[in-house]
A and B are shown apart, each in its own frame.
Chain A
Amino acid sequence: MKFIKDHIMFILPLVAILLGIEFFLVFDRMTASYEQRLRDGYSMLVVSKEPMTLQELQSINSNIGKSTKIEKNEILKEVSLGQNPQDTQEILNALPNFYIIKLAKYLDTSALDNLEKDLMASKKIKRVETFGNSYSSNYKLFSFIKFILKVFIIFMSVVSLFLVIKQMEVWGYVHRERMQVMEIFGAPIMLRSGILFKVAIVDALISTSIIVLFFLYLKYQLAGISEVDALMNNSELLFQPSDAFILLACAIVIVIISVYIVVFSSREKEA
């Protein structure tokens, strides 16, 4: 019974830390995908006198990721219905070049303004028109939530880490006598702390499994019935197989550090 209690006291804070890490991973992915959608939905129309290559445009501002030329013929088709071919040719010659520009990465409002200014400053460019939802208001809220979440996760992790070490100290107390007897008989440190390591690694595995199972459940069961759009549409972001490895690695690093703290604090003191 005491054995189980000791383990739970260790597993719980470890689970809390892993939960924090997993939340962080999930939120990071959600943010990334949100940014990508914003970026993809955003475009600029650039009108220039002379033809411009992508390189030329990028030399004006490196945040430009892609440019697509709108064929003049396509435009003409729309406007020249019923006109005579000679007029059409004249219009064709008079028409400037149109480019649709996509961004290379997510930009905030001021960077977007700069981009627009840079383009307008070019002598070749006559007009710049932007389309797509406004970046700023949504995104600022999002960034703020992201920041708050980070602070919360770090705070939670620190508190949990203290609990882990606290429990390790209790263990250290329980195991101290045995480890000291073994040390007096010349046992190397790995042998002395072997049992602690075994127990701690088992606990790390248990904690990781709890989180993995919880998030898998969330991904495949809860997200579907939650009726929360953000969850339903992004369920693939909720948990990814690589997360399991990250969590396990974190858990093992935490327990190894904790075990070392116990092992070294229980060494026979040189009086």
Chain B
Amino acid sequence: MANVVIQASDLTLAYNNGKNEIIKNANFSIKKGEFVFITGPSGSGKSTLLKSFYGHIKPTHGSLMVGGLDLAKISNSKLQELRTHMGIVFQDYKLVNEWTVAKNVVLPLMIAGYSIDMQHTQAQRLLRHVKLSEYANMYPYELSGGEQQRVGIARALAKNPMLILADEPTGNLDEYSSNVIWDLMENACQQLETTVVVVTHRIPTVFSLQYRHFIIENKGVYEVH
């Protein structure tokens, strides 16, 4: 049980105060160190499901345990604390444009209260990892999309999170840049035993069938075997 990172029981997600149900009575669990894909047609609720994992959307019915906490009942301060153990990657990167690349990367460390020195050394390590060392003092808008997303990945990895959540992380990128991103995420999963959940409309061809794959259809979440 301690190995389960995400556990959904009869999970129901809805907008407009429950009137517009997107996911209904879904049951699944994701264990530590697993790499999971979520696919489905546009508008099926992939992003909605992913947002529920970081508490942006609360279950309207059932329970959703993440890291042992029930997100249906979690307090704001507990959720805040839980989020410091997650790394989230967005299709549109969501970098802070008025901050340098280095500062963007260490946001989770800044939140955790690391000293400036520590932040500095970690920024160098992380940027080396995503091969952006020379970009440390540039601003996100000066980078290409693929480079910005590598910054996004570095930020997500900064604090060795227990869970990485990514919504179409390669949605705006060409095949080459996409493969770099997939490599980085696979690496994190294999070397750091980080759980990775990726929403995408198409599973990249570089991945064989070795990873779990959920598909959303008619409000249900099904595993593809």
Interface residues of A (CB under 8 A from B): 177-178, 181-182, 184-188, 191, 268, 270-271
* A180 vs chain B, min Cβ distance (A): 8
Partner of A181, one of B79, B81, B86, B107: B107
How many A-B pairs fall under 8 Å by CB? Answer: 49
* A2 vs chain B, min Cβ distance (A): 12
**CB within 8 Å for A271 and B107 given contacts A184-B88, A185-B83:** no
Partner of A186, one of B56, B57, B111: B111
In whole angstroms, how far apart are the Cα atoms of A172 and B88 in the complex? 23
**CB within 8 Å for A181 and B56 given contacts A186-B81, A186-B111, A187-B111:** no
* B180 vs chain A, min Cβ distance (A): 23
Q: What 7 pairs across the A-B complex have the smallest Cβ distances?
A: A186-B83, A186-B84, A187-B111, A178-B96, A186-B80, A181-B94, A185-B108
By a CB distance below 8 angstroms, the chain A residues around B56 are: 184, 268, 270-271
In whole angstroms, how far apart are the Cα atoms of A268 and B79 in the complex? 13
In whole angstroms, how far apart are the Cα atoms of A26 and B170 in the complex? 65
By a CB distance below 8 angstroms, the chain B residues around A182 are: 107, 111
Binding site secondary structure of chain B: mixed
By a CB distance below 8 angstroms, the chain A residues around B35 are: none
Within 8 A of A (CB), among B50-90: 51, 54, 56-58, 79-84, 86, 88
Total contacting residues, chain B, CB less than 8 A = 25
26 contacts between A and B (CB under 8 A): A177-B94, A177-B97, A178-B96, A181-B94, A181-B95, A181-B96, A181-B107, A184-B54, A184-B83, A184-B88, A184-B94, A185-B88, A185-B107, A185-B108, A185-B155, A186-B81, A186-B82, A186-B84, A186-B86, A186-B108, A186-B111, A187-B107, A187-B111, A188-B80, A188-B111, A191-B111
By a CB distance below 8 angstroms, the chain B residues around A184 are: 54, 56, 83, 88, 94
Interface residues of B (CB under 8 A from A): 15, 51, 54, 56-58, 79-84, 86, 88, 94-99, 107-108, 110-111, 155
Nearest to A269 among chain B residues (CB) is B56
In whole angstroms, how far apart are the Cα atoms of A177 and B108 in the complex? 16
- Quick check: B15 and A271 within 8 Å, CB to CB? yes
Nearest to A175 among chain B residues (CB) is B98
In whole angstroms, how far apart are the Cα atoms of A177 and B92 in the complex? 12
By a CB distance below 8 angstroms, the chain B residues around A268 are: 56
Nearest to A181 among chain B residues (CB) is B94
* B7 vs chain A, min Cβ distance (A): 21
By a CB distance below 8 angstroms, the chain B residues around A185 are: 83-84, 86, 88, 107-108, 111, 155
- Quick check: B15 and A177 within 8 Å, CB to CB? no
Nearest to B159 among chain A residues (CB) is A185
Nearest to B94 among chain A residues (CB) is A181
11 more contacts with CB within 8 A, not counting A185-B107, A186-B80, A270-B56, are: A177-B97, A178-B98, A181-B95, A182-B111, A184-B54, A184-B94, A185-B108, A187-B111, A191-B110, A191-B111, A271-B15
* B197 vs chain A, min Cβ distance (A): 15
* A258 vs chain B, min Cβ distance (A): 21
- Quick check: B57 and A271 within 8 Å, CB to CB? yes
In whole angstroms, how far apart are the Cα atoms of A254 and B156 in the complex? 37
In whole angstroms, how far apart are the Cα atoms of A184 and B80 in the complex? 8
In whole angstroms, how far apart are the Cα atoms of A184 and B93 in the complex? 13
By a CB distance below 8 angstroms, the chain A residues around B155 are: 185
By a CB distance below 8 angstroms, the chain B residues around A186 are: 79-84, 86, 108, 111
